Amino acid sequence: MSAESQPEHKTEVIPEWKREEVDALTALIERYESIGVVNIAGIPSKQLQKMRRDLHGSAELRVSRNTLLTRALEASAQGFDELTGLVGGQVGLIGTDDNPFGLYKELEASKTPAPINPGEVAPNDIVIPEGDTGIDPGPFVGELQQVGANARIDSGSIQVLEDSTVLEAGEEVSAQLANVLNELGIEPKEVGLDLQGVYSEGVFFEPEELAIDIEEYRADVQSAVAAGRNLSVNAVYPTARTADALVSKASNEARSLGLFAAIESPDIADDLVSKADAQMRALAAVIDDEEALPEELRGVDAPAATETTESTEETAEETEDAEDAESEPDDEDDDDGGAEGLGEMFG
């Protein structure tokens, strides 16, 4: 083949600004423990800048071309395959040293209500609430009725007679409905950074995995701690947290056994006398004879039983009660010990 017929090889020249942008994105990825992809579609530029400023100190947001985001993620040695698959549409890269749960919570809390535009899909059911619209009688009552609201003129203004669902989630917003909602000041959507996924310490998290009820989770952990403590006590498995309870339980059971078997011991002598006195008085009470009770005990109150005196059956019942109380923490120390890491986990 002659030199003239050989195909011409061209070397792609990457502009310097692209190299610098990829380097900046790579530095962001390496700087933070958690890296995520956020959807920024529909957020006005001014509001996006405010969100970036609000995140200062806790997270860093960087928006760039998708090709450059992909290149930076692929160049990382950590293997962000899941994140790379999320790069599409209008997205940005966010980095933080916070854990994924804390990042998700912060982004969700930063969202604000916003008007919905014609052609957008309703994120949830759109409801025009019952009440006085504050709008003077006029053509607007007809517009309300056309979009599906139960409205009429009453007491000199336009009234909505009941909560009216005018659009269901997933349906497209018409221009007429958008105008009606804007006139009423109804903002049916939230604007903010939607976390699409986050990679932290070698684990990829989807938004559904991060959207948890923290208080419910905390209660579950505390319940598990209480259940574990009760299991340790009932199985006589000593730990640093249950040793005192096991010793106390063994002491009570030994005292109950001594009372039941009438074992003479200085530790339970008073309780044995109290038990014998109670039994004697109970027997005298069922005998139809005024002299059944010795004269020196007549008119004398029975000695009060000590607080630690209990029957074997009562001890068994308390053990069963402990098993049934798994859903409630046994004491404040256990609560603190079981939930002490939740603050770090959720931010």
> How far is the CA of 244 from the CAs of 166, 232, 268, in angstroms?
63, 12, 21
CA contacts within 13 A on the Cβ side of 38: 31
Extents of the domains making up the chain: 16-111+192-210, 126-185, 214-346
What local confidence, expressed as pLDDT, does residue 206 receive? 94
pLDDT score for 329:
44
How much is the pLDDT for 339? 47
Q: What integer pLDDT is reported at residue 94 of this predicted model?
A: 95
Q: Please report, for residues 106, 134, 225, 325, the alpha-carbon distance to residue 219 in angstroms, rounded to integers and kept in the order given.
A: 21, 45, 10, 13
Nearest Cα to 344, choosing from 33, 55, 133?
33
pTM listed for this prediction: 0.56
DSSP of 111-163 = -EEE---TTPBPSS-EEEPSEE--PPSSTHHHHHHHHT--EEEETTEEEE-S-
Instruction: Please tell me the predicted confidence (pLDDT) of residue 305.
Output: 53
Give me the DSSP letters along 9-69: P------HHHHHHHHHHHHHHHH-SEEEEEE-TT--HHHHHHHHHHTTTTEEEE---HHHH
| Nearest of 96, 121, 88, 112 to residue 193 by alpha carbon | 112
β partners of residue 94: 36, 61
The answer to whether residues 189 and 166 touch, using CB atoms and an 8 Å cutoff, is no
Q: Which CATH superfamily is domain 126-185 in?
A: Ribosomal protein L10, N-terminal fragment, domain II (3.90.105.20)
Return the pLDDT at 8. Answer: 56
Q: What are phi and psi of 176, to 5 degrees?
A: -65, -45
Domain 16-111+192-210 shares a fold with domain 126-185: no
Please give the average pLDDT of every successive group of 10 residues along the chain, which has 347 residues.
52 80 93 94 85 90 94 86 92 93 90 89 93 93 94 92 94 94 91 92 92 86 91 88 88 86 84 83 77 70 53 43 45 47 48
Q: In angstroms, rounded to a whole number, what is the distance separating the alpha carbons of residues 35 and 28?
A: 9
Which pair of structure tokens corresponds to residue 12?
């792609």
Q: 16-111+192-210 has which CATH code?
A: 3.30.70.1730
260 contacts 269 by C-beta, under 8 angstroms: no
